[in-house]
Chain A
Amino acid sequence: MLSVTWLVIAVPLASAFLLLLAGKRSNAWGHWLGVLASGSTFVVGLGAFIEMLGLDAEERATSVHLFSWIPGDALNLDAGLLVDPLSLTFVLLVSFVGTLIHVYSVAYMEHDANRRIFFAYLNLFVASMLLLVLADSYLLLFVGWEGVGLASYLLIGFWNHKREYATAANKAFFVNRIGDIGLILAMGLMFTYLGGVDFETVFAAAPEASVGVLTAIGLTLLLAACGKSAQFPLQSWLGDAMAGPTPVSALIHAATMVTAGVYLIVRSAPIFDGAPDARVVVAIVGAITLLLGALIGMAKDDLKKALAASTMSQIGYMMLAAGLGPVGYAFAIFHLVTHGFFKAGMFLGAGSVMHGMRDQVDMRRFGALRTSMVVTWATFGLGWLAILGIPPFSGYFSKDKIIEAAFVGEGWHPWVFGSAALVGAGLTAFYMSRLFFMTFHGKARWTDDQHPHESPKLMTIPMMILAVGSAFLGLILATGDRFVTWLEPVTGHAEEHEPVIAVPVLIAATLVLVALGLLAAWRKYGTADVPTEPPAASLATIAARNDMFQDSVNRAVFERPGTHLTRTLVYADTAIVDGAVNGEAASIAKTGEVVRRLQTGQVRSYAALMLVGLATIVIIAVVGGN
């Protein structure tokens, strides 16, 4: 199966094109073709996984040569796939969660006239995402990178007849372009200083390259990761991206695409190994985002936007772990996988709630849904316990390891990063519990036309499977350090480091903070009445409700000066360039006005002029001749 891994890209891509080209005649079966294409990727991925398990740890990286892509002297690049434990982890995550979400979407999008196109886009996304993680060069990765960006844009704006949804899609696209510039610059630097853009060449040349070059490459890669993974300061698009249908939010904007930045950082480990400064910046960005996302999540009343803020915050954890170096790589990916399960599960739960509540997303209009949506409540609850990090659910094994790893090191790093991760855990407990209690507990605050009901089986079964994963995946993968050992061929063996605070103390502190956050949320949103209108709040809450004014900051710092600059340039163009051209034309026209008078139309005056002219010529000839 390893040698035919290319099928996982080709099959969904072919399915996407078939669905787009076949038109309305495939409306009846198009969605099942989409499910089948996605399911087949999981089968191939699973086959490759089983085959890889039979190999020794050192032989687990398989290169699959596809074709000679850019032949030439200066840049000789082959298109190929790199199947190793890291990429295979992603293949399994993307194809498994992706297939479940495909199944879920069959029911969720049942009444949408364009369901077939939706599945075509979903297939396109799966193909691009798998290309992104399987590529063996940065350039091929970039193709997948752009592909997922395109799919994300198409799916956020899937209901683009609503103006603000179309705007949200554009916003996501533009912000992602800024990140893409980072990746392009990184590739340019690699090509100039490291001699190529394929992983093999780059990673072989990285240890000899100067620290400055590696830092520059690392920072540009970080810019790319920030754009794709909605990290500070490019995080503003993720909240608006919730305009897309909820399965899209679950698959693309929670479980898979937004984690591509983490993948990029971990994959580029040899570069960051030589650039400690860039690595610290990665950790700082992760720490800022995890706190920022948590604070925003605490104030949002929109169910999906609160989950989006949570996603941002959790990816902040992964970034922080990736910025810690070899000690954190495996945990970054571990958290990425468990997060993929519990966050996708919770998003599907949110979709189920919206399905039963006439597309309401305002949590102040929910409450007491536990009794009418038992399956959704139970599956969401397992995801909630997992993200809180309560043992033995999966978040405990992944997030607490990140907190421990953040406390490893010397100087100020462990204290700053560790405290951020620790505080973030408490905040996470608060905002996720708030979200959970506001939705499922307390008093019913429904509007009159809402009659909550459980979703159909096609939706609840994927939720149950993801909930089982949220509950047990962490335990299964953490037992005997299975996951860390599995990734070791890629991330390298990390020496055991002692955190600056003893591990049992850290675990206790984390659990106490989580319990405090949970209790605070229970007292405020579980037992007390929740007003249906957001109450007047402190400045901090208002800031958090408005995404920390990120849009205003962007507008003031980038958009306004940009607008002024272009206006000035347009003015200069009109005044100077156009002025010169138009002035010349005007002066010629004026000359013409004057010269025109000579044309009287009188035959005799022409004759007189000719005579005068002739006489002048003769006089000049005669006088000049002497």
Chain B
Amino acid sequence: MNPIAFVYLAAVLFAIGSAAVLLRRNAIIAFMGVELMLNAANLALVAFSRIHGEIDGQVMAFFVMVVAAAEVVVGLAIIIAVFRARQTISLDEPAELKG
């Protein structure tokens, strides 16, 4: 199987993830989109590693997984904190940083 197909798959997954982040108002869904983008990147890294026959990409993928795990904890905590404060998890609701 041609490894380049995994790269295409990664691009598609990344596009889906970013669409979820940009288009959905629900914070949980957007967050899932972020996870999807991270995993798309991981897939691309592993695919390139395979293409080039080097192990660097796979090592990098592990780092990303660790970071993603930590990020999930922090992200979900923020979402819960926002929900407790405002009784909503809509992304459009908090706009205090408007200049």
Contact = CB atoms under 8 A, between A and B. Distances in A.
Judge: A and B partners, yes or no.
yes
Interface of A: 596-604, 607-608, 611
B94 A603 contact: yes
B70 interface: no
B97 A604 contact: no
B53 interface: no
A599 B98 CA distance: 5
Given A603-B91, A603-B94, A604-B92, A598 B99 contact: yes
Contact of A602 (B18, B21, B30, B95): B95
Contact of B18 (A597, A600, A611): A611
A611 B22 contact: yes
A602 B96 CA distance: 9
Contacts of A597: 99
B89 to A, nearest CB: 11
Interface size bracket, B side? 10 to 19
B95 to A, nearest CB: 3
Contacts of A596: 99
Nearest to A600: B98
Nearest to B21: A607
Interface in B18-48: 18, 21-22, 25, 30
Given A602-B98, A604-B22, 6 more contacts: A597-B99, A601-B95, A601-B97, A602-B91, A603-B91, A611-B18
A598 B98 CA distance: 8
Nearest to A592: B99
B20 to A, nearest CB: 11
A596 B91 CA distance: 21
Closest 10 CB pairs of A and B: A599-B99, A601-B98, A601-B95, A596-B99, A601-B97, A603-B91, A607-B21, A608-B22, A604-B91, A600-B98
A596 B97 CA distance: 10
A600 B22 contact: no
Contacts of A603: 91-92, 94
B99 A601 contact: yes
B33 to A, nearest CB: 9
A566 B98 CA distance: 48
A616 B9 CA distance: 22
A602 B92 contact: yes
A607 B96 contact: no
Interface string B58-99: 000000000000000000000000000000000110111111
Nearest to A598: B99
A582 B67 CA distance: 49
Contact of B21 (A599, A600, A601, A604): A604
Contacts of A604: 21-22, 25, 30, 91-92
A179 B80 CA distance: 83
B92 A600 contact: no
A599 B95 CA distance: 10
A607 B17 CA distance: 12
A597 B99 CA distance: 6
A401 to B, nearest CB: 92
Contacts of A611: 18, 22
Contacts of B97: 599, 601
A607 B92 CA distance: 12
A601 B95 CA distance: 4
A611 B19 CA distance: 11
B91 A600 contact: no
A607 B99 contact: no
A461 to B, nearest CB: 89
Contacts of B96: 601
Contacts of B21: 604, 607
Nearest to B97: A601
A516 B21 CA distance: 117
A608 B30 CA distance: 12
B27 to A, nearest CB: 8
Contacts of A601: 94-99
